[in-house]
Amino acid sequence: MHLDFSLILVVTTLATGLVWLLDKLIFKKRRSVDPLKENKPGLVVEYSNSFFPVLALVLILRSFLFEPFQIPSGSMLPTLKIGDFILVNKFTYGVRLPVINKRVIPVNNPKAGDVAVFRYPLDQRLNYIKRVIGVAGDKISYQNSVLHINGAPLDRQLLEKNPTESPKEELWQETLGDSRYSVYNYPTPTYNFPEITVPEGYYFMMGDNRDHSNDSRFWCQATPQNETGCLIIPGYANNRGAPLVMGFVAEENLVGRAFAVWMHWPKLLSLPKFSDIRTIE
């Protein structure tokens, strides 16, 4: 069972806020009218008066400013490790209403190279984190482990073969837009795709751990073209004759831009570490 923390926070804040408001307008005056009775609020009112300001502050911070997330998988290695706790800027891509995630005040749009958190198109109860590879209108292909954007290969430099954290792979540095970051690749290419065009209102996402990431290349392969951003690429088919289906993230699925790691806590019984605080490139 998946718990929607945003919904729980909104409902709890509204409930305690309603009791707090009724106490200020009605209950408190009634208590002061009869001096013979103990001038003390009931348990529900007392708890609501205590928790509502805290819940309201958390709701505002989490919904409109910054939200913490924990990295549960290795799809963004080496940039983000399993157990990293990150901060996501919620207003970078526009002010959005909590729960329904509707953008009400446009601010900026994602840029190629950003590390973005978004609602997984096939199950919007889940949050995913990947790197923005292409924005609307970009033409993208992936050949021999090299990304090509609008006909030009990305600037790419080999940093290390058989790195300690990921033996049998290679550590590369890529430059995309204003971002310079590291990725892992197997020495032998494992997956290519032909040139595709990112449709209007959508983004193409990939993990930095290129051969171990469920991203725009893969999550739609068993899904026909539909409104979740799974689009058939015309003119291409795999060796079984199935069409090439790519996944794109719609603008309304965006949550925010990941910008910092503030703690690393890989296991529940281990001690959290604050020695690896850093910005996310």
Tell me the catalytic residues: 75, 130
Q: Please state, in angstroms and rounded to a whole number, the distance separating the CA atoms of residues 24 and 113.
A: 50
Q: What's the angle, vertex CA 138, arms to CA 90 and CA 152, rounded to 5?
A: 120
In terms of C-beta density within 10 A (0-12 exposed, 13-18 middle, 19 or more buried), how is residue 29 classed?
Answer: exposed
Largest pairwise CA distance in the chain: 86
Q: Please state, in angstroms and rounded to a whole number, the distance separating the CA atoms of residues 279 and 262.
A: 9
Q: How far is CA 124 from CA 71, 78, 97, 117, 209, in A?
A: 17, 26, 15, 12, 23
Q: Which run of H or E residues covers position 57? A: helix 43-60
Q: How far is CA 203 from CA 60, 118, 148, in A?
A: 27, 11, 16
Q: Please state, in angstroms and rounded to a whole number, the distance separating the CA atoms of residues 119 and 126.
A: 6
Whether the Cβ atoms of residue 119 and residue 67 lie closer than 8 Å to each other: no
Whether the Cβ atoms of residue 87 and residue 258 lie closer than 8 Å to each other: yes
Site of tokens 């703690």 = 263
Our measurement of the distance from residue 225's CA atom to the centroid of its chain's CA atoms, rounded to an integer in Å, reads: 23
| CB atoms closer than 10 angstroms to residue 246 | 24
- State the DSSP code for 253: G
